[in-house]
Protein backbone atom coordinates (compact mmCIF):
# COMPACT_ATOMS: atom_id res chain seq x y z
CA UNK A 1 0.00 0.00 0.00
CA UNK A 2 1.38 3.43 -0.87
CA UNK A 3 1.62 6.19 1.74
CA UNK A 4 -1.05 8.89 1.36
CA UNK A 5 0.34 12.16 0.00
CA UNK A 6 -0.57 14.62 2.71
CA UNK A 7 -0.43 18.33 2.10
CA UNK A 8 2.38 19.35 4.45
CA UNK A 9 1.99 23.06 3.66
CA UNK A 10 -1.68 23.72 4.35
CA UNK A 11 -2.84 27.31 3.97
CA UNK A 12 -3.44 27.94 7.64
CA UNK A 13 -1.92 30.62 9.83
CA UNK A 14 -1.28 28.82 13.13
CA UNK A 15 0.16 31.93 14.75
CA UNK A 16 -2.81 34.07 13.83
CA UNK A 17 -5.23 31.34 14.88
CA UNK A 18 -3.77 30.68 18.32
CA UNK A 19 -2.08 33.94 19.29
CA UNK A 20 -3.88 35.65 22.19
CA UNK A 21 -5.13 39.08 21.10
CA UNK A 22 -3.32 41.93 22.83
CA UNK A 23 -4.83 44.28 25.40
CA UNK A 24 -8.12 42.45 25.37
CA UNK A 25 -9.67 40.15 27.93
CA UNK A 26 -9.25 36.56 26.73
CA UNK A 27 -12.06 34.17 27.62
CA UNK A 28 -10.75 30.62 27.76
CA UNK A 29 -14.30 29.28 27.88
CA UNK A 30 -14.80 30.60 24.35
CA UNK A 31 -11.75 28.84 22.94
CA UNK A 32 -12.12 25.23 21.76
CA UNK A 33 -9.98 22.62 23.46
CA UNK A 34 -10.37 20.37 20.45
CA UNK A 35 -9.88 20.96 16.73
CA UNK A 36 -8.43 19.38 13.61
CA UNK A 37 -7.28 22.74 12.24
CA UNK A 38 -6.37 22.29 8.57
CA UNK A 39 -5.70 18.57 8.94
CA UNK A 40 -7.73 15.63 7.65
CA UNK A 41 -6.99 13.77 10.86
CA UNK A 42 -4.34 12.35 13.13
CA UNK A 43 -2.11 10.78 10.45
CA UNK A 44 -2.07 13.99 8.45
CA UNK A 45 -1.22 16.02 11.59
CA UNK A 46 1.56 13.63 12.54
CA UNK A 47 3.09 13.75 9.04
CA UNK A 48 3.04 17.56 9.25
CA UNK A 49 4.73 17.52 12.67
CA UNK A 50 7.40 15.14 11.40
CA UNK A 51 8.40 17.59 8.66
CA UNK A 52 8.10 20.64 10.91
CA UNK A 53 10.45 19.05 13.47
CA UNK A 54 13.05 18.45 10.74
CA UNK A 55 12.77 22.11 9.69
CA UNK A 56 13.02 23.28 13.30
CA UNK A 57 16.24 21.29 13.72
CA UNK A 58 17.76 22.87 10.61
CA UNK A 59 16.83 26.36 11.77
CA UNK A 60 18.13 25.70 15.28
CA UNK A 61 21.42 24.54 13.77
CA UNK A 62 21.71 27.85 11.96
CA UNK A 63 20.84 29.81 15.08
CA UNK A 64 23.45 27.87 17.05
CA UNK A 65 26.21 28.54 14.51
CA UNK A 66 25.14 32.18 14.14
CA UNK A 67 25.50 32.61 17.91
CA UNK A 68 23.54 35.86 18.13
CA UNK A 69 19.85 35.28 18.75
CA UNK A 70 18.17 32.91 21.16
CA UNK A 71 14.76 31.38 21.76
CA UNK A 72 12.87 30.88 24.99
CA UNK A 73 9.80 28.63 24.91
CA UNK A 74 7.54 28.84 27.96
CA UNK A 75 5.04 26.02 28.59
CA UNK A 76 2.17 26.35 31.03
CA UNK A 77 -0.78 24.02 31.42
CA UNK A 78 -3.09 22.21 33.80
CA UNK A 79 -1.87 18.76 34.89
CA UNK A 80 -1.87 16.07 32.21
CA UNK A 81 -2.29 18.59 29.39
CA UNK A 82 0.85 17.23 27.76
CA UNK A 83 3.86 19.46 28.46
CA UNK A 84 6.09 16.42 28.79
CA UNK A 85 4.79 14.77 25.62
CA UNK A 86 5.20 17.98 23.65
CA UNK A 87 8.79 18.32 24.84
CA UNK A 88 9.55 14.69 24.05
CA UNK A 89 8.00 14.66 20.61
CA UNK A 90 8.60 18.17 19.30
CA UNK A 91 10.80 20.59 21.24
CA UNK A 92 13.20 18.02 22.66
CA UNK A 93 14.06 16.93 19.13
CA UNK A 94 16.38 19.91 18.79
CA UNK A 95 20.13 19.33 19.12
CA UNK A 96 20.80 19.08 22.87
CA UNK A 97 24.10 20.93 22.39
CA UNK A 98 22.09 24.08 21.88
CA UNK A 99 18.84 23.36 23.70
CA UNK A 100 17.95 22.67 27.30
CA UNK A 101 14.75 22.05 29.24
CA UNK A 102 14.23 23.51 32.70
CA UNK A 103 11.38 22.29 34.94
CA UNK A 104 10.19 24.73 37.60
CA UNK A 105 8.80 23.04 40.70
CA UNK A 106 7.91 24.27 44.17
CA UNK A 107 10.83 26.60 45.00
CA UNK A 108 13.61 25.15 47.17
CA UNK A 109 14.48 26.90 50.44
CA UNK A 110 17.34 28.69 48.69
CA UNK A 111 15.15 29.76 45.77
CA UNK A 112 12.39 30.92 48.10
CA UNK A 113 14.92 33.07 49.97
CA UNK A 114 15.47 35.13 46.77
CA UNK A 115 13.25 37.20 44.51
CA UNK A 116 10.96 35.08 42.31
CA UNK A 117 12.99 35.66 39.13
CA UNK A 118 16.33 34.64 40.64
CA UNK A 119 16.01 30.98 39.72
CA UNK A 120 14.51 31.82 36.34
CA UNK A 121 17.01 34.31 35.00
CA UNK A 122 19.92 31.88 35.14
CA UNK A 123 17.99 29.42 32.96
CA UNK A 124 17.38 31.88 30.11
CA UNK A 125 19.13 31.03 26.85
CA UNK A 126 22.58 32.34 25.96
CA UNK A 127 23.19 33.66 22.45
CA UNK A 128 22.59 30.89 19.91
CA UNK A 129 20.74 28.68 22.38
CA UNK A 130 17.19 27.53 23.11
CA UNK A 131 15.66 27.18 26.59
CA UNK A 132 12.41 25.36 27.19
CA UNK A 133 10.63 26.18 30.42
CA UNK A 134 8.42 23.37 31.73
CA UNK A 135 6.37 25.71 33.96
CA UNK A 136 7.95 29.05 34.57
CA UNK A 137 7.94 32.41 36.34
CA UNK A 138 4.20 32.48 35.57
CA UNK A 139 3.63 30.04 38.43
CA UNK A 140 4.34 33.05 40.62
CA UNK A 141 1.09 34.67 39.47
CA UNK A 142 -0.84 31.39 38.99
CA UNK A 143 -0.45 28.75 41.72
CA UNK A 144 0.84 31.43 44.06
CA UNK A 145 -2.31 33.48 43.51
CA UNK A 146 -4.82 30.64 43.55
CA UNK A 147 -3.28 28.97 46.60
CA UNK A 148 -2.83 32.31 48.33
CA UNK A 149 0.90 31.71 48.90
CA UNK A 150 1.82 35.39 49.06
CA UNK A 151 -0.36 38.45 49.74
CA UNK A 152 -2.32 39.87 46.80
CA UNK A 153 -0.42 43.15 47.04
CA UNK A 154 2.75 41.20 46.27
CA UNK A 155 1.66 39.01 43.35
CA UNK A 156 -0.25 41.89 41.76
CA UNK A 157 2.99 43.76 41.20
CA UNK A 158 4.58 40.78 39.49
CA UNK A 159 2.87 41.25 36.12
CA UNK A 160 4.76 44.47 35.55
CA UNK A 161 7.97 42.95 36.86
CA UNK A 162 7.55 40.01 34.46
CA UNK A 163 6.97 42.38 31.54
CA UNK A 164 10.16 44.23 32.39
CA UNK A 165 12.08 40.96 32.71
CA UNK A 166 10.86 39.67 29.36
CA UNK A 167 11.64 43.02 27.75
CA UNK A 168 15.18 42.73 29.06
CA UNK A 169 15.55 39.30 27.46
CA UNK A 170 14.09 40.53 24.18
CA UNK A 171 16.42 43.52 24.27
CA UNK A 172 19.44 41.25 24.04
CA UNK A 173 18.06 39.13 21.22
CA UNK A 174 15.89 36.50 22.86
CA UNK A 175 12.62 35.71 21.15
CA UNK A 176 10.08 34.49 23.68
CA UNK A 177 7.19 32.18 22.76
CA UNK A 178 4.61 31.29 25.39
CA UNK A 179 2.15 28.41 25.10
CA UNK A 180 -0.82 27.50 27.24
CA UNK A 181 -1.99 23.93 26.57
CA UNK A 182 -5.76 24.24 26.71
CA UNK A 183 -7.32 20.98 27.87
CA UNK A 184 -10.90 20.31 28.98
CA UNK A 185 -11.61 19.00 32.51
CA UNK A 186 -13.21 15.92 30.87
CA UNK A 187 -10.09 15.09 28.88
CA UNK A 188 -7.93 15.68 31.93
CA UNK A 189 -9.99 13.17 33.95
CA UNK A 190 -9.69 10.67 31.11
CA UNK A 191 -5.91 11.03 31.22
CA UNK A 192 -5.86 10.68 35.02
CA UNK A 193 -7.71 7.39 34.52
CA UNK A 194 -5.13 6.18 32.00
CA UNK A 195 -2.43 6.97 34.55
CA UNK A 196 -4.28 4.87 37.13
CA UNK A 197 -4.67 1.99 34.68
CA UNK A 198 -1.05 2.03 33.56
CA UNK A 199 1.50 0.97 36.23
CA UNK A 200 4.41 2.69 34.43
CA UNK A 201 2.52 5.97 34.90
CA UNK A 202 1.74 5.54 38.59
CA UNK A 203 4.69 7.74 39.53
CA UNK A 204 2.76 10.65 38.01
CA UNK A 205 -0.23 10.22 40.33
CA UNK A 206 -0.77 12.92 42.88
CA UNK A 207 -3.79 13.59 45.10
CA UNK A 208 -3.04 17.32 44.72
CA UNK A 209 -4.09 17.09 41.06
CA UNK A 210 -7.68 16.56 42.20
CA UNK A 211 -7.53 19.60 44.48
CA UNK A 212 -6.41 21.71 41.51
CA UNK A 213 -9.43 20.40 39.56
CA UNK A 214 -11.70 21.88 42.22
CA UNK A 215 -10.05 25.22 41.57
CA UNK A 216 -10.39 25.10 37.79
CA UNK A 217 -12.36 28.41 37.62
CA UNK A 218 -9.80 30.19 39.81
CA UNK A 219 -6.95 28.95 37.64
CA UNK A 220 -8.84 29.96 34.53
CA UNK A 221 -9.28 33.47 35.89
CA UNK A 222 -5.59 33.65 36.85
CA UNK A 223 -4.56 32.55 33.36
CA UNK A 224 -6.89 35.05 31.71
CA UNK A 225 -5.29 37.84 33.73
CA UNK A 226 -1.83 36.67 32.67
CA UNK A 227 -2.87 36.71 29.01
CA UNK A 228 -4.23 40.21 29.37
CA UNK A 229 -1.35 41.71 31.32
CA UNK A 230 1.75 39.91 29.98
CA UNK A 231 1.34 39.52 26.24
CA UNK A 232 3.79 41.88 24.57
CA UNK A 233 4.71 41.47 20.89
CA UNK A 234 8.18 40.23 21.89
CA UNK A 235 6.70 37.60 24.21
CA UNK A 236 3.31 36.50 22.86
CA UNK A 237 0.96 33.94 24.40
CA UNK A 238 -0.67 31.21 22.34
CA UNK A 239 -3.60 29.11 23.53
CA UNK A 240 -3.23 25.64 22.03
CA UNK A 241 -6.23 23.28 21.80
CA UNK A 242 -4.70 20.27 23.55
CA UNK A 243 -7.40 17.63 23.87
CA UNK A 244 -5.93 15.97 20.77
CA UNK A 245 -2.28 15.31 21.38
CA UNK A 246 -1.41 15.22 17.69
CA UNK A 247 -2.96 18.66 17.10
CA UNK A 248 -1.15 20.09 20.13
CA UNK A 249 2.17 18.85 18.69
CA UNK A 250 1.45 19.99 15.13
CA UNK A 251 0.35 23.51 16.04
CA UNK A 252 3.22 24.19 18.44
CA UNK A 253 5.68 22.81 15.89
CA UNK A 254 4.18 25.10 13.24
CA UNK A 255 4.45 28.17 15.46
CA UNK A 256 8.02 27.44 16.57
CA UNK A 257 9.06 26.81 12.97
CA UNK A 258 7.45 30.02 11.73
CA UNK A 259 9.08 32.02 14.51
CA UNK A 260 12.51 30.61 13.75
CA UNK A 261 11.97 31.33 10.06
CA UNK A 262 11.14 34.92 10.89
CA UNK A 263 14.24 35.19 13.09
CA UNK A 264 16.07 34.16 9.93
CA UNK A 265 19.30 32.86 11.49
CA UNK A 266 22.28 32.79 9.14
CA UNK A 267 25.28 30.50 8.98
CA UNK A 268 28.32 32.59 9.91
CA UNK A 269 30.43 33.99 7.11
CA UNK A 270 33.87 32.42 7.12
CA UNK A 271 37.20 34.18 7.43
CA UNK A 272 39.23 31.16 6.34
CA UNK A 273 40.68 30.98 2.83
CA UNK A 274 38.60 28.21 1.22
CA UNK A 275 40.95 27.80 -1.76
CA UNK A 276 43.87 27.33 0.60
CA UNK A 277 41.95 24.79 2.73
CA UNK A 278 40.90 22.90 -0.41
CA UNK A 279 44.53 22.82 -1.53
CA UNK A 280 45.60 21.40 1.86
CA UNK A 281 42.89 18.78 1.67
CA UNK A 282 43.87 17.73 -1.84
CA UNK A 283 47.51 17.42 -0.78
CA UNK A 284 46.56 15.16 2.18
CA UNK A 285 44.21 13.09 0.04
CA UNK A 286 46.89 12.62 -2.63
CA UNK A 287 49.45 11.58 -0.01
CA UNK A 288 47.05 9.06 1.50
CA UNK A 289 46.19 7.63 -1.92
CA UNK A 290 49.90 7.34 -2.74
CA UNK A 291 50.52 5.43 0.52
CA UNK A 292 47.71 3.02 -0.23
CA UNK A 293 49.04 2.19 -3.72
Residue ranges binding ligand ADP (CB under 6 A): 79, 104-107, 134-135, 139-140, 143-144, 149
Q: CA-CA distances (angstroms) from residue 176 to 125, 131, 232, 284?
A: 10, 10, 10, 47
Nearer to ligand ADP, 172 or 202 (CB): 202
Is 22 in contact with 231 (CB distance < 8 Å)?
yes
Nearest to 223 by CA among 31, 15, 74, 76: 76
Nearest-approach distance from CB 252 to ligand ADP, in angstroms: 17
Q: CA-CA distances (angstroms) from residue 128 to 81, 179, 277, 289?
A: 29, 21, 27, 40
Q: CA-based Rg of the chain, rounded to a whole angstrom?
A: 22
Nearer to ligand ADP, 41 or 217 (CB): 217
Nearer to ligand ADP, 63 or 142 (CB): 142
Nearer to ligand ADP, 32 or 115 (CB): 115
Nearest-approach distance from CB 114 to ligand ADP, in angstroms: 11
Nearer to ligand ADP, 76 or 175 (CB): 76
Q: Which residue is nearest to ligand ADP (CB)?
A: 139
Is 74 in contact with 134 (CB distance < 8 Å)?
no
139 vs 213: CA distance, rounded Å? 16
Nearer to ligand ADP, 67 or 103 (CB): 103
Identify the burial level of 42 via C-beta atoms within 10 angstroms of its C-beta, where 0-12 means exposed, 13-18 middle and 19 or more buried.
middle
Which residues, listed in sequence order, are joined to residue 102 by a DSSP beta bridge? 133
Nearest-approach distance from CB 104 to ligand ADP, in angstroms: 5
Nearer to ligand ADP, 83 or 244 (CB): 83
Nearest to 53 by CA among 88, 29, 20, 79: 88
Is 144 in contact with 150 (CB distance < 8 Å)?
yes
131 vs 43: CA distance, rounded Å? 29
Nearest-approach distance from CB 125 to ligand ADP, in angstroms: 20
Nearest-approach distance from CB 111 to ligand ADP, in angstroms: 8
Nearest-approach distance from CB 134 to ligand ADP, in angstroms: 6
Nearest-approach distance from CB 154 to ligand ADP, in angstroms: 12
Indicate the length of the chain as a whole number.
293
Nearer to ligand ADP, 62 or 135 (CB): 135
Is 270 in contact with 65 (CB distance < 8 Å)?
no
Nearest-approach distance from CB 52 to ligand ADP, in angstroms: 24
Is 77 in contact with 83 (CB distance < 8 Å)?
yes
Amino acid sequence: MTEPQWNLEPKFDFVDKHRVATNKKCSLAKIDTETNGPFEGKDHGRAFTHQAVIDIRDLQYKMFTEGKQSLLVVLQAPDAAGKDGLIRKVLGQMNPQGCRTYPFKVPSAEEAAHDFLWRVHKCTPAAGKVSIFNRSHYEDVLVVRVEDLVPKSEWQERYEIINGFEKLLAHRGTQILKFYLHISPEEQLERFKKRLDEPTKHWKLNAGDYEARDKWPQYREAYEDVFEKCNASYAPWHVIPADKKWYRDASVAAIVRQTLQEMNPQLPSIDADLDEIRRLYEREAAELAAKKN
